[in-house]
Structure 1
C-alpha cells in the first residue's frame, strides 16, 4: 500500500504536496538567483528530484510501514531495486551473494559513483534509525543523475546494502567485490542534527559460551562444573579490566543463558559482547584482552569455552576531505542548517567502505524534536513531513556532489 498522498508507482508532480509536506520548498535556496540555481546541470538535477518527489516519499513510507530486520529485507530490497529498474538501471539482484542486496548501474562514464541504500530496521523498533529515508534518498540521487551521467562522464551505481544494524552487510559486500571499481561512495543518514564530517567508533562483536557439567546442587555439587560461575568470573575480570582501558575503549555485553533451575549446577552459560574503540587498529588489542578474561575464567572454573565472532568488525569511518568539502558547499547553497562537529557517537559498516573507497556519510536533521536514533519517537519522525523534505534534499545533495566530483571548479 502506498503512502498517503504519494504515488508509489509513478513520479509525483513537481512541487506537489506529499503527505502534508510542501516539497516545492525543499532546498529552495538552490533555485534562487545565486549558487546552484545558476548552474544548468544542478538545476536539472534538482528539478528531476522534485519531479520524482511522490515516488521517493512513497518508497520511504512503504519501507517504513513494513520494517524488516537484518538479511530479511526482501520487500524493501525489491521495492528499491524496482524503482531503479523502471528508470532503466541495470539491476543485479543478490549482489555479493546476499539475497537482500542488489547493485544497480546506469551510464558508462569513466568515474563510478555509488550511492548506498540502507533499508534494514531494528528489532522491536522498526525504522528508528531512518533507513527508509536513506534508501529513498539513494534512489533519488540515482534517478536524478541518470539523464546526465554519460555527459558528465559518470557511471552511477545504487547499491542495496542490507544488515547495517547487525551483520555488517557492507563489509560482506566489500569482501565480495561489489565495490570494486567504485571511485566514490556516498550516503546521507537522517539524524537529530546536521553534520558533514561523520565520526564513528570501530566495533567488534564477541559471543562467549561456557560448557560445564550438570549436577545436583546439594547432593553432588563436587560432580559439577558451573558454567554460570565461569561467566560470573569473566564478567568480574572484564569489570576490573575497564579500570585500565583508555577512555575511548569500551566493553559491554549481556548474559543470554545461565542455567534453568537453582538446584541444578548450570551446564551452559552464554553471553553476547561488543567492544568499541575510536580507531580500528585498537580493536585487535582490545579483543585480545577481553578474550583473555573469558579464557582465564574457563581455566578457573574447569569449563570449556567457545568464542565466536558473529559478524565482521565495523571499522572507524574515515571520510574523504575533498568530497566532504564539495558536499558542505552544496548543503550551504541548498540552505541546510549549519553543520556541527561531533565526537564519535555511533557505528556503521559504511566505515569499512571508507577504508577502501573515497566516501562521505553526512547526517541531515529530520526535525525529530529531540529524539535520537534507536528511539521509538525517532521512528515516528522518520516518516513525518520534515523527514520527507530532508530525503529530497539528501537526494539533491548526493547528486550535486557526484556532479561536482567530475567537473572542474567554477571559474577554472
Structure 2
C-alpha cells in the first residue's frame, strides 16, 4: 500500500494546496469539485457530477455491480471569512487518496466503493438531503477522516438547529419623538437575555450561541429591524426539539414585551448527533496503533456538530480525527494557515492509508461487518 500512497501522493497534495489557496464556501465549491472529479476520472474512476440535486456534489463508483456497498465521504467546503480553517481541503484530500488507492486494489474488495462528494458541511449540511433521498440506505458503512490537533476515534457530535431570527418595529427620531417608535433592538436584547436565563435550567450538553447580524441603521433612529443568527445544540434530537421550542417562546415573549413582530427561518438542515459504533472503532484503533499513532480518548468530550450524524441514522458512520499539530485549533486563522505545511501533507497521506486499510479490513476480516451491523441495529433501537 505504501507504494500506492506514494504513486498518488503528489497529485492529491496538489489538489489540497489548490483548495487551500482557493477556498469556496458551502454550495459554491465549483472549482474544488471540478478539480476532484477530473482527478478521479483521470485515474479510471467513473463519476456522476453533479449528483443528488446539488451542483457541487459528485459520486464516483469503484467495483460497480457488487451487491455490497460502502461510502467514502469527501468534504471540501470552506468557512465564511476564514478559508479552510476546518481543514476540509486536507480531510477531503485524504478521502480522495484512499479512493485512488482502493481503485488499484478493487479485486481485493467484494463491494462497490462509492466516493461521495458532500458539499456545504459547515452550514446547510449537504449530507442531509442525500440521506433524505436514500443515498446511504444500502451502505454497509460510511467513513471519512477529519484533521484535528489530536488523534481520536470519535467525536461526540451534538444535534444542531440553526435559525435566523428577525424583529421588526417602527422607526422614529430617537430624540424628538421616540414614543412613536417601536425598538426592534430592545426586542433582540430581551431575546438574548431570555436565552441566557434558560441556561440555568438546561442539561450540560446543551449549547446556545449566536450573534446579531444587524442591530439598526443609525444612532438617532429607533432601530426598526434587527436580525440574528442563532445555533441550538444538544446530544439527543428529542431534547433539542424541546429546547428549540423554548427558544421560540423566548422570541415571541420578547416581541410581545416590546410591541414588535418577529419571524424565524431555518438556516440549512437539522443535524443529528453521531451514533457511535464501538466495533467499527476497534478496527480503526488497531489501524491507528499499527501505524504508530497515539490515540486520545474523546468519549467524554463534547464536540461541535456535523451532518455525518444524519448519515449515522441510516448506516454505521465513522468520523475519526488525525493530528496535524497539538498547538492548532480548528476554526482559527492558524489552522487555515497550516493546510499547506509538511505536517498536514503527511497527515493527508496517513489519512488515505487509514481509510484504505479500514475498508479492506472490514471486508476481509470474517465476522467484523456482521458485528458492526448488529451493533448499529441495536443502538438505533
Answer yes or no: same fold by TM over 0.5: yes
Q: Distance in 2 between matches of 1:126 and 1:215?
A: 40
In the alignment, what sits opposite 2:220? 263
Report if aligned partners of 2:57, 2:118 keep a CA contact under 8 Å in 1.
Answer: yes
Whether 2:86 is the aligned partner of 1:134: answer no
Kindly report structure 1 stretches of 4+ aligned residues shifted beyond 6 Å.
Answer: none
Deviates more, 1:186-195 or 1:329-338: 329-338
**Is there any run of 5+ residues in structure 2 with no aligned partner, and where?**
368-381
Deviation of 1:109 (Å):
2.1
In the alignment, what sits opposite 2:31? 75
In the alignment, what sits opposite 2:126? 169
Q: Distance in 1 between matches of 2:333 and 2:175?
A: 47
In the alignment, what sits opposite 2:58? 102
Q: Distance in 1 between matches of 2:93 and 2:316?
A: 22
Report if aligned partners of 1:137, 1:392 keep a CA contact under 8 Å in 2.
Answer: yes
Deviation of 1:122 (Å):
1.5
Q: Distance in 1 between matches of 2:93 and 2:176?
A: 63
In the alignment, what sits opposite 2:12? 56
Deviation of 1:375 (Å):
1.5
Q: 1:362 aligns with which of 316, 320, 336?
A: 320
Q: Distance in 2 between matches of 1:249 and 1:299?
A: 26
Q: Distance in 1 between matches of 2:314 and 2:253?
A: 37
Q: 1:319 aligns with which of 237, 253, 276?
A: 276
Q: Distance in 2 between matches of 1:213 and 1:125?
A: 36
**Is there any run of 5+ residues in structure 1 with no aligned partner, and where?**
1-44
In the alignment, what sits opposite 1:121? 78
Q: Distance in 1 between matches of 2:322 and 2:101?
A: 19
In the alignment, what sits opposite 2:306? 348
Q: Distance in 2 between matches of 1:81 and 1:339?
A: 34
In the alignment, what sits opposite 1:206? 163
Whether 2:331 is the aligned partner of 1:374: answer yes
Report if aligned partners of 1:208, 1:307 keep a CA contact under 8 Å in 2.
Answer: yes
Deviation of 1:237 (Å):
1.4
In the alignment, what sits opposite 2:117? 160
Whether 2:354 is the aligned partner of 1:391: answer no
Q: Distance in 1 between matches of 2:24 and 2:75?
A: 11
Report if aligned partners of 1:109, 1:149 keep a CA contact under 8 Å in 2.
Answer: no
Report if aligned partners of 2:273, 2:310 keep a CA contact under 8 Å in 1.
Answer: yes
Aligned with 1:143: secondary structure?
helix
Deviation of 1:409 (Å):
4.1
Encode CA deviations 1:115-151: one digit per residue, 9 max, x unaligned.
1111111122221111111111111111111133244
How many residue pairs match? The answer is 365
Aligned with 1:96: secondary structure?
coil
Superposed counterparts of 1:280-319, under 5 Å = 280-319=237-276
Q: CA RMSD in A?
A: 1.7
Q: How does the TM-score come out when normalised to structure 2?
A: 0.91
Deviates more, 1:348-357 or 1:168-177: 168-177
Deviation of 1:177 (Å):
3.0
Deviation of 1:364 (Å):
0.6
Change (3 A) 1:234 1:153: same
Report if aligned partners of 1:95, 1:173 keep a CA contact under 8 Å in 2.
Answer: no
Report if aligned partners of 2:78, 2:85 keep a CA contact under 8 Å in 1.
Answer: yes
Q: 2:294 aligns with which of 337, 352, 358?
A: 337
